[in-house]
Amino acid sequence: MSLKDDPSLFAGQILSVMSDMIYVLDPVDNHVDFLNSRAVDLLYTESSGPKTGFELFQAALHEEDRPRRNRHIAACLSMPDGRAKEVDVRLRVRAGHYRKFRIRDMVFSRNADGSVNQLTGVIRLLETSVNKEEEEHDLPAKLLLGIAAQDYLEGLRQIYVSLEIIISTEGHLFSNTNKAHLRRTQSMVQKLNLLTRDVLVNASSTATNNRSSPVDLTVLLTQVLEAMHGKIKALGAKIETLALPQVHGYPLLLTALFRHLILNALKSGLDGRPLLIGIQPGPTRDVSPPGADSLAAPFLTIIITDNGNGFDPADREKIFGMSYQGPEKMRHRSSGAALAIAKRIIEIHGGFIMADSVPGEGSTFTCYFPA
């Protein structure tokens, strides 16, 4: 199942790489219904002790802060929808010492009688003096979250609107029970929207304030191709490369860029014709980014070609949309997210990407990086 087929899968993957700790908690039974991997990675736990769920927080929580945390949860039981309560606590991290965190809880769902049956919490590190290793670990996740945030939230909006149209125009055909199910689905979409906004706020702008570094694209591409060797071999594809220039940027994001562009090419193959993908440098060009009022400036170019099914040239801009689907006969067998993510990564680096195609013969993608 793809992320496009199941938006909740996308939400789960976003929350699992977020640098904050996220949970969904039953406040009465102290049962954790969801816990992202960041909590397990960050919090201290003995090798034979609790590893997941509420017990993980209980084990990490400073003894003196437990009464305040318990009072906070009790207060959340009378909290109205859309409001949030915060409490500061000390949690023991894997380094073995305590650090100060802020927990922000909101009502996630209620029982039929209106009582709270789930809270959602975001746990954020308060200290600003984060060591270099932790900063570098968090940066790629924050950047990738910034890439996905707006497209994902727009998808949630479209789901909500579509449900509203169905209820308004076809509601008389449904039973009261089925209409109630649709309304509950709308309610959960809204709550997921609020939770996602709370988690993703400022993720992109915060991350892009960090320093980038010189990246040897030849070395980086070699590593990407080694990691994808099995998939490339299984599809019988051949990839030809030439030495690439050095650019200034974020290595893990540039790795994701090449991976997504290669995946897009691999999924474009035509039956009965060996797939050939080329990756090579192009000439440095003085150009102005599309839609920009700035004067022309020098840009390095990287050209990715394939001899796959291609796309309608009239869609050369639409193909970078998260929800793009071309004509059935030229449709790539992909989730549609690869090119949208690639476009955002290049924009983060101050560049842009252009595409062209001859249907049935192949596609060309040109990446422009500031020289």
The whole-angstrom separation of Cα 96 and Cα 37 is 19
Q: Are residues 150 and 38 in the same domain?
A: yes
Sheet with strand 21-26: strands edge to edge: 31-35, 21-26, 116-125, 98-110, 84-92
Q: Does pLDDT of 205 surpass 50? A: no
Return the number of other C-beta atoms located less than 10 Å from residue 95's C-beta. 11
Q: Are residues 194 and 258 in the same domain?
A: no
Output the domain CATH number for residue 160. 3.30.450.20
- What pLDDT score does 316 carry? 86
- What pLDDT score does 211 carry? 57
The whole-angstrom separation of Cα 48 and Cα 68 is 27
Q: Are residues 137 and 273 in the same domain?
A: no
DSSP state of 64: G
Q: Are residues 67 and 139 in the same domain?
A: yes
Q: Residue 356 falls within a domain, yes or no?
A: yes
118 and 24 Cβ atoms separated by less than 8 Å: yes
- What pLDDT score does 46 carry? 61
pTM above 0.85, yes or no: no
125 and 101 Cβ atoms separated by less than 8 Å: yes
DSSP state of 138: H
Q: Are residues 98 and 40 in the same domain?
A: yes
Helix (H, G, I), strand (E, B) or coil at 187: helix
Q: Are residues 61 and 182 in the same domain?
A: yes
The whole-angstrom separation of Cα 182 and Cα 167 is 8
Q: Residue 252 falls within a domain, yes or no?
A: yes
Q: Residue 159 falls within a domain, yes or no?
A: yes
User: Contacts for 335-341 with beta carbons within 8 Å, 24 or more apart?
Assistant: 335/2, 335/3, 335/4, 336/4, 337/3, 337/4, 338/260, 338/261, 338/263, 338/264, 338/267, 339/260, 339/261, 339/264, 340/151, 341/144, 341/147, 341/148, 341/256, 341/260
Q: In this predicted model, what pLDDT tens digit does every residue of 241-260 receive, in sequence order? A: 999 999 988 887 888 889 98
- What pLDDT score does 292 carry? 67
The whole-angstrom separation of Cα 249 and Cα 224 is 16
The whole-angstrom separation of Cα 101 and Cα 21 is 10
Q: What is the mean pLDDT of residues 268-283?
A: 89
Q: Are residues 80 and 173 in the same domain?
A: yes
- What pLDDT score does 276 carry? 95
Q: Residue 26 falls within a domain, yes or no?
A: yes
Q: Residue 113 falls within a domain, yes or no?
A: yes
Q: Report the chain's terminal Cα–Cα distance, integer Å.
A: 40
Q: Residue 80 falls within a domain, yes or no?
A: yes
272 and 361 Cβ atoms separated by less than 8 Å: no
Closest CA to 369 of 306, 318, 303, 322: 303
Output the domain CATH number for residue 296. 3.30.565.10
The whole-angstrom separation of Cα 144 and Cα 146 is 5
- What pLDDT score does 143 carry? 52
Q: Are residues 200 and 347 in the same domain?
A: no
**Could you say which of 207, 238, 264 is where a domain stops?**
207
- What pLDDT score does 209 carry? 43
- What pLDDT score does 147 carry? 54
Site of tokens 């199910």: 181
Domain residues for the domain of 326 are 213-370
**Could you say which of 166, 182, 207 is where a domain stops?**
207
Q: Residue 1 falls within a domain, yes or no?
A: no
Q: Are residues 68 and 189 in the same domain?
A: yes
Q: Residue 197 falls within a domain, yes or no?
A: yes
- What pLDDT score does 331 carry? 44
Q: Are residues 153 and 224 in the same domain?
A: no
**Could you say which of 207, 238, 255 is where a domain stops?**
207
Angle formed at CA 335 by CA 334 and CA 341, multiple of 5 degrees? 105
Q: Does pLDDT of 230 surpass 50? A: yes
Q: Are residues 86 and 179 in the same domain?
A: yes
Q: What is the mean pLDDT of residues 342-362?
A: 89
Q: Are residues 281 and 158 in the same domain?
A: no
Q: In this predicted model, what pLDDT tens digit does every residue of 36-82 receive, in sequence order? A: 777 777 776 665 444 556 677 778 889 999 999 999 999 999 998 87
Higher confidence at residue 305 or residue 193?
A: 305
Q: Does pLDDT of 273 surpass 70? A: yes
Burial of 173 (0-12, 13-18, 19+ CB in 10 A): exposed
Number of domains into which the chain is organized: 2
- What pLDDT score does 270 carry? 78
The whole-angstrom separation of Cα 168 and Cα 266 is 42
Measured in degrees and rounded to the nearest 5, phi and psi for residue 323 equal -105, 15
